[in-house]
Each structure stands twice: as structure tokens, then as C-alpha cells.
Chain A
Amino acid sequence: AQSVSQHNHHVILSEAASLELGCNYSYGGTVNLFWYVQYPGQHLQLLLKYFSGDPLVKGIKGFEAEFIKSKFSFNLRKPSVQWSDTAEYFCALILTGGGNKLTFGTGTQLKVEL
């Protein structure tokens, strides 16, 4: 069965620091990949997604992620974080042709300090 791993459970950064959150998945076939974010007190919302094409995808609020097929990775990056980026970040995948159910990682809690 497919799975998603997020190895960083808690990350603390200062404002303006660069961010990279790791995401690896295990599945031999084709997948669609997502990063979701949950800001404090808010709903889970989509940050960015990769279906096909350019492996470097850009999302909202200056976030980007790169799909590296050979490494089964889809790491999330932001060059300069802000205090308002404090949130929980979830990597997820959908199997193409396998229905639309998302398989999520356990999430990374990011805290950005002023």
C-alpha cells in the first residue's frame, strides 16, 4: 500500500529564514502530489499540487515544491518565511486511476518566531 512520510515533525525558524520540509512517498506507480496547510483555527487548505509536467510547482504565498521522481520526494520550500507561515503542513498523494482518496503524511508543525 502507498504511504507518505514527513520526517520533520516540529520545525522552529526565525523570520526570513529559508524553509524546506521533507516529504517522501512509497508507491511504484504514478501519483498526484499535494501540500496542504492548516493555519491555527482554520480549515485545511491546498497550498500547491503536482499532476504532471514541470516538476517544480509554485503555490500560494511564495511556496514551491519540487517533485523528484527518482527520490520519491516532493519537498516544500520557501526562501524567506514569515511569522504568518506558522501552521501545520501536510504532504499527501492520490494514486492516478485509483479514486480520489488522499493519503496523508503525519504533518509538520512549523513555528516561525519573530
Chain B
Amino acid sequence: GAGVSQSPSNKVTEKGKDVELRCDPISGHTALYWYRQRLGQGLEFLIYFQGNSAPDKSGLPSDRFSAERTGESVSTLTIQRTQQEDSAVYLCASSPPGREAGNEQFFGPGTRLTVL
């Protein structure tokens, strides 16, 4: 079946503009995660949605970052007033329900964001 998809694949924006990144998880996956990978660094957790529970936003680096998820489907990550340090690859992942199964995360191809 289809994997996790993300759009756009690449986004170039000017400093100070807002951007929206989209993630379509695998159908039936209840959990959805956003990570980012800055050059030369590992992936950093940003936010986690699990079903109808309140999202875990503990990884969002500032209040310029926000994310929403519609039910158990699409999620959008919004970055307001982008800064050059926001340049990174933003990865989305989803995982199926179940305690152990839910620990395997399936990743999308990522969105490469460049802030000029």
C-alpha cells in the first residue's frame, strides 16, 4: 500500500514568510510524528499526535511552530516568520495502533526547507 507522503518535497522561502508543510500518513495509522533534521545533526522530535489525545508538543522549538491533525489523517506543520535556522529536512512518520507495533514508525520522504 501507499506509504507516508509529504508535500512539497522542496520549499524555498524568504526569511520572515510563513510556510505550511503537509503530511499524509499511512491509512489506519493512529499516531503521527514530526521530526526535523538540520545539516550535520540527528533527527529532532517536534510533535506527536496519538488518536484523539492532546498532542505532545514538547519538541517544538518556539511558538512560531505549530501543527494540526485532522482526525487520524492529514497533518500540517506551520512555521511562522521563518528564520534561517529553520532550514532543515522536515520528516513525518506514522505508526499503527498497538503497544509494540506502535513503536515502529514509518517515515515519509521529507520536505527540504530552505530559508534565504
Chain A interface residues toward B at CB < 8 A: 4, 32, 36, 43-46, 49, 51, 90, 92, 94, 99-107
A36 to B4 Cα, complex, angstroms: 16
B76 within 8 A of A: no
Contacts known (A44-B91, A51-B100, A51-B103); A90 close to B42, Cβ less than 8 A: yes
Q: Say whether A32 contacts B3, CB under 8 Å.
A: no
Q: Say whether B107 contacts A100, CB under 8 Å.
A: no
Question: Which residues on the B side are within 8 Å of A45 (C-beta)?
Answer: 106-107
Q: Say whether B42 contacts A100, CB under 8 Å.
A: no
Residue in chain A with minimal CB distance to B100 = A51
B50 within 8 A of A: yes
Question: Which residues on the B side are within 8 Å of A49 (C-beta)?
Answer: 103-104
Q: Say whether B103 contacts A101, CB under 8 Å.
A: no
Q: Say whether B42 contacts A44, CB under 8 Å.
A: no
Q: Say whether A43 contacts B3, CB under 8 Å.
A: yes
Contacts known (A44-B91, A44-B107); A102 close to B35, Cβ less than 8 A: yes
Residue with the greatest number of chain B CB neighbours at <10 A, chosen from A36, A49, A94, A104: A104
Residue in chain B with minimal CB distance to A103 = B45
B107 in complex: contacting residue of A43, A99, A101, A103, CB < 8 Å: A43
